[in-house]
Amino acid sequence: MILSDLNEEQQKAVQHGAGPLLIVAGAGTGKTTVITERVAWLIEQGMAQADEILALTFTDKAAGEMEERLDKLLPYGYVDLWVMTFHSFCERMLKNHALDIGVPNDFKLLNQTEQWLLVRENLDKFNLDYYRPLGNPTKFIHALLKHFSRCKDEEIWPADYLEYAAGLKIDLDKMESTGGKGKNKKESEVDESEIKRLEEVANAYHIYQQLLLDNEALDFGDLINYTLKLFKERPNILKFYQHKFKYILVDEFQDTNWAQYELVKLLASPKNNLTVVGDDDQSIFAFRGASMSNILHFKEDYPKSVEVFINKNYRSRQNILDMAYNFIQLNNPERLEVKLGNEKLNKKLASQHKGKGIIEHLHAADEGEEVAAVVNKIIQLKNEDSYASWNDFAILVRANNQAEAFLNGLSYAGVPFNFVAAKGLYAKEVVRDVLAYLKLLDNYHESLALWRILNLDMVKIKVEDLMELTRFAQRKTYSLYEAINQIGTLKNISADTSKKVAYILKKIKEHTALAREKSIKEVVLKFLNDFKYNEYLLAKNDEKSFSYLRSFLKKIEQFEKTNNEKNAANFMQLVELELESGEQGDLPKDVEEGPEAVKVMTVHGAKGLEFNYVFVVNLVDKRFPSIERGELIELPDALVKEIVPQGDIHLQEERRLFYVAMTRAKRGLWFSSAENYGGKTRKKLSRFLYEIGLEKSKIKNQKSKISPKPEIKNFDVKYKLPTVFSYSQLKAFETCPYQYYLAYILKIPVRGKAVFSYGKTMHSALQKFMAMIKQSAGSKQERLFASDNREQLAGSVKNKLPPVEELIHLYKESWIDDWYESKKQKEDYKKQGEKSLRGFYQQIKDKLPEVLALEQGFNFKLDQYTIRGVIDRIDKLGDKVELIDYKTGRAKTEKSIEKDQLLIYQMAAKDVFGFEVENLTYYYLDDNSAVSFLGSERDLAKIKEKILKLIAGILSADWQAVATQHNCQYCDFNEICKYREL
């Protein structure tokens, strides 16, 4: 129930009506709850529809968490929630409207590495003198890109920068023309040198932007700035979205930059129904520590805004909160509490839990003993707390490179852990194995790559045989590949090894041939299957490695989408360049994904999370607080629009970071340090330990060792189960729960199928073609689902039919060229597709359908569960609608069709859209026939009962296999499943 569990301050924030609202919410005070309840309250009160509220966050995880909570709060479901990051929102705007400002709407969004590659490949175009790199340009390019990114944060365009530099030059020329009054010769020379430097940077920024446009690409900063440009230069588009979004909410407002705030102000005007939520003490991403800048600007821009201060904490014990509060006050007067006046804003958090938390300092002689003290304490707490799970523990480091010792310690002790880092994919063993194999296929004589393959656990070639092969290769000056090709001439090699080597050589040749015709992804999946790699990981229940594989395969897919030369050699060249740039590969970002585990992460990564027991480690001088690293290329103060604080900005930011670390803890907070980290000098304790008053309580001479695989009670590994369900999920579980486990819990990568590539192609072509027909009638799906859908059904729609060749063109443009077994199969599908679409055209030629919606997503509630899906097409039939789902294949009879999918759509159409359904139709594209039916009340009751039973089965985590010859024959996992019946 909305509002039922909220305190007085939270209720005041949620129930605020029109006008601007500033919410200052401290750590653990239910900030996300307030935002989601406010969205739900606005919808419940009829003040806005779900798609008329825009909620902006900073991370995909935060947006996902809000959506998840709204799923539970909204009683009937919803069509389109605009809960997303700033970048996702702007990308959506530009995909729809970029052409209106001369930017291609099919732009490629470059990540940091791709930006680096673009500059590196065009470095000679930058005409650098002052900043010309004498050696390796890697660090210089990163510095330049970081500077450009800062410019975009402040909405500084290249023209602005060039104008600023030109203005300085004019001032200097004027001064020189007057004889240099007020300046001596030396000062004038310094000024001239600085102006040349600024002109060079401004020009480089201009060239970089032009390179992006020439390559039809944008970076993340461009998403915000071009959206701002769109709204400023195209008032009609701005007006449309100002009218659309009746209420706007911004999370983590303290970390918004100038450009993001300008965007929000534009959208919110003129109604100014803008809610911002922030806490300056938790600002750890703002430029130069400008933690209060936009909050203070907000108060200036909206002097009559309502202010709500929330300080009841539902996370931590009071003594933990008191320590954190006393500590962060050392940042005074550069805190909001001081700026606004203490009598108005009291940021001392009040715990809603009784009792004290544990606060301890573990001090050791060296890093090994520090690690042992932390790991042993975690095991002790786990054994003593029968309710504790591994997810209750977090080890927080200041930087990723400080985590390795703790990872090794946890591994040695047999404690499950998850290193939550943004980068490091290419260093993971499973990815290194795949990279080695791709390198080998590109060049058989890459001996190190082949050595890695021969050493794979699932290959298990004897060590003595490998040594013999290596010695033979060295003696003959052969590559290892040449040596194993002559294995028959060696007497001391075992028969088992000879057999395995013959198999490997056979597969290398097969996969080399495959790589000439198929995608890299297909080759990789073939390697994983043929070398029994997936089977090996499944036997170990190695969910982590499967997640790394999924991330790596996404990387390959991205490469194949954006490169014409899609071979393994070019992909490996890209990876080598990325490694040269410092890129280590993106890791999966979901902290809660996979089995229970102790989380090891940076303090930055822990923002927004909470744990029962938190360990903040390596608390010594120069580690935490870290050494200040200023900007290599600083932005001129005259161009900075944000309010920058006074004093030691770096120390203030490090304090905020330490405050965030402390306020993650619910019941226990440990600080750890050591005297020796391998250097020559003894380490000093972190100044923060003195500032929180713990330096005196350190445990001296704490000697600890980790017991290998100690007895750990309650060692129960659990997986995160879904909170939202789809028809395909439910169908997979119904067919075989173990298949569901492999596909949706472990998420094992599988080879695609020709029928799926063909099906997606046909769906895409039809969606684009029907959208053209729909647009010809002036119908806009953006506003389709208004408060009363009867208006949509009242009038007739006059559609126009484009020529059939337009449909065929869209078909060819949409063609997905993957997963076909042979060229003949591919051609057969191509011919069938064109024949089917021409038949489809003839079917609708005489009587065009009145299309209401295409690819219409929905979320609807079934009891407390959310069901999600996408309806291919919704047509108007008088004052009712027809729901259509396309199928590739030939028609079935009504008795033989699987009705469940469309019955789910029927429930959604009624509950979410308010439509009365006339027909549910499966449209079979191969012969352009259709089977229609309508679910009775009895049918709908039965499908509801069935869905709830399947969901209960999934949530029980009982993955019992249903192994039948029929099921296993068509299962994607029949090659690795231990229960298979073939």
Q: List, as residue ranges, the binding site.
A: 25-32
Residues 6+ apart with CB under 8 A from 461: 454, 455, 497, 500, 501
Alpha-helical segments (H) within 385-494: 404-413, 429-442, 447-454, 463-476, 480-484
3-state helix vs strand vs coil in the chain, percent to 5: 50, 15, 35
In 3D, which of 607, 602, 596 has the Cα closest to residue 382? Answer: 596
Q: Can you list the pairs that 935-939 forms with residues at least 24 positions away whose Cβ atoms lie under 8 Å?
A: 935/899, 935/902, 935/903, 935/906, 939/899, 939/903
Distance CA 526, CA 529 (A): 5
Give φ, ψ of 906 to 5 degrees: -60, -45
Whether residue 302 contacts residue 653, with contact meaning beta carbons closer than 8 Å, is answered with no
Burial 523-548 (b: 16+ CB within 10 A, else e): bbbbbbeebbbbbbbbeeebbbbbbb
Residues 6+ apart with CB under 8 A from 523: 438, 441, 511, 514, 515, 568
Residues 6+ apart with CB under 8 A from 279: 24, 25, 26, 27, 31, 254
Which secondary structure element, helix H or strand E, spans residue 358, and what is its range? Answer: strand 358-366
Whether residue 188 contacts residue 176, with contact meaning beta carbons closer than 8 Å, is answered with yes
In 3D, which of 949, 567, 878, 534 has the Cα closest to residue 734? Answer: 949
Distance CA 404, CA 623 (A): 15
Q: Count of CB atoms within 10 A of residue 405's CB?
A: 19
The residue type found at 63 is A
- State the Cα torsion 128-133-139-142 to the nearest 10°: 10
The residue type found at 508 is I
Whether residue 568 contacts residue 515, with contact meaning beta carbons closer than 8 Å, is answered with yes
**Angle (nearest 5°) at CA 450 between 448 and 452:** 70
Give φ, ψ of 436 to 5 degrees: -60, -40
Residue with tokens 């409207």: 97
Whether residue 20 contacts residue 306, with contact meaning beta carbons closer than 8 Å, is answered with yes
Token pair of 855, please?
A: 């690819």
Give φ, ψ of 338 to 5 degrees: -80, -45
Distance CA 543, CA 274 (A): 42
CA distances from 57 to 54, 71, 593 (A): 10, 17, 21
Distance CA 488, CA 481 (A): 13
Token pair of 711, please?
A: 């007895």
> Residues at the annotated binding site for ATP?
25-32
CA distances from 335 to 56, 290, 292, 303, 640 (A): 24, 10, 7, 20, 20
Q: How many CA atoms lie within 13 A of 474 on its CB side?
A: 6
In 3D, which of 368, 354, 414 has the Cα closest to residue 390? Answer: 414
